[in-house]
Amino acid sequence: MVSTNGIRLHVVESGEGRPLVLLHGLGWDHQLWKSVMAKFSDRYRVIAGDTRGHGYSDKPAGPYSIQQFSDDWHGALQALEVSGACLVGFSQGGMIAQTLALQHPGDVGALFLACTTCRSDPGVKEILEERIRQAKLAGPEAAARLAAKGIFAGAFAAANPGRIEEFVRRRAAMDQDALVAATRAAYDFDVAERLRTLSVPATVVYGAEDALTPPAVVKQLAAALPRGTVAVGVPAAGHMIPFEQPLQFESLLAAFLEQHYPANPRRGKP
């Protein structure tokens, strides 16, 4: 546990070297990154954790905000003596990564963003509010099943019923008040214009079948980032690329790191 911003944030790490910080999305926790940690910890100091309200981290009463999540992580990185990290931000974790890069540029040396946006969509707000209504009316399991329909590609869900059930069990077991507070944290998020001030290398990837953050939305984020940004679509993937297509996700991340954030940078190379 790391004490930060008035809470305790659960953090795990593995390996040594340049820091690679993994930020999960809404309703997940550090376990989303188990495979990524195993793959990259031989050459990076890989750090993952549970955002406020998730996993083993503290779950104070809401409301929450992306700014608050960012402040939590900034304090954690200071406590861990981390600076200039490559942030890997998935979905809501991508919003946190963008905010960290804008508010605390010394924390960030590169950005790898997946299935995320720089501006909240009112339509998505309605989708998420429907999940909240379902949870209140029919219970957490029904809400989790509704969420599964929206975030996984249809072919993946049909071919992997066991993994969908695993997702449903885990989501339904979460602290539901904290999940609601975390859900609503992103409703008024908008950093689109401010992103043009960022100078770190960045790339953006998306699932070709993502209904929650559609390709057009993610491409807008890519266009707003000024340095080295390429929007890459992963075929046969919905919103959950790290879960649905982990090998493709890790391959894209490895290529980005090799080009923009090598484990052993040559002397004099930024």
Q: What is the pLDDT of residues 74-117, one digit of tens each?
A: 999 999 999 999 999 999 999 999 999 999 999 999 999 999 99
Tokens 């490895």 belong to which residue? 254
| Res. 147: pLDDT tops 80 | yes
Is 18 within a domain? yes
- Tell which phi-psi region holds residue 174, choosing left (phi > 0), alpha (psi between -120 and 50) or beta: beta
CA atoms of 10 and 125, how far apart (whole Å): 28
**209 domain residue, yes or no:** yes
Statement: residue 260 has pLDDT above 70: yes
Yes or no: say if 94 and 23 are a contact pair by the CB < 8 Å rule: yes
Integer CA distances (angstroms), 233 to 59, 72, 206, 244, in order: 34, 31, 5, 13
pLDDT tops 90 at residue 263: yes
pLDDT of residue 268 exceeding 50: no
Pick from 36-40, 134-138, 182-186, 207-211: least confident: 134-138
Cis peptide bond prior to 63, omega within 30° of 0: yes
Structure-token match 């929206």, residue found? 150
How far apart (Å, rounded) are the C-alpha atoms in residues 119 and 114? 14
Find the mean pLDDT for residues 189-197. Answer: 94
Specify the length of the chain in residues.
Answer: 270
Tell me, what's the pLDDT at 267?
44
190 confidence band (pLDDT: 50, 70, 90): very high
Structural domain that includes position 44: 2-120+189-260
Whether residue 249 lies inside any domain: the answer is: yes
230 within domain boundaries: yes
Residue 10 lies in a domain: yes
- pLDDT, position 80: 97
β 2-4/7-9 pair status: antiparallel
Of the pLDDT bands very low, low, confident and very high (cuts 50, 70, 90), residue 227 is confident
In a domain, 86, yes or no: yes
Residue 177, token pair as written in the block? 């008040």
Residue 270 has pLDDT above 60, yes or no: no
Stronger pLDDT, 184 or 267, i.e. the higher one: 184
Q: Is residue 174 part of a domain?
A: no
For 171, the token pair is 């989501």
The distance from CA 121 to its chain's CA centroid, rounded to whole angstroms, is 17
Q: Is the pLDDT of residue 236 over 80?
A: yes
pTM: 0.94
- Phi first, then psi, for residue 181 (nearest 5°) are -60, -40
DSSP structure string for 149-218 = HHHS-HHHHHH-HHHHHHHHHHHHTS-HHHHHHHHHTTTT-B-TTGGGG--S-EEEEEETT-SSS-HHHH
The tens digit of pLDDT for each residue in 153-164 reads 999 999 999 999
- What does the pLDDT read at residue 121? 83
Other CB atoms within a 10 A radius of the CB of residue 173 amount to 11
Can you read off the two tokens belonging to residue 74?
């900034």
Tell me the CA distances in angstroms from 247 to 15, 36, 179, 234, 253, one per residue in order.
Answer: 20, 9, 28, 11, 10
The structure tokens listed for 55 are 């996993």
pLDDT, residue 127, reads 79
Residue 207: inside a domain, yes or no?
A: yes
Domain harbouring 37, CATH code:
3.40.50.1820
Q: With cut-offs at 50, 70 and 90, classify the pLDDT of residue 266.
A: low
Q: What is the pLDDT of residue 44?
A: 98
pLDDT of residue 228: 79
Q: How many domains does the chain contain in total?
A: 1
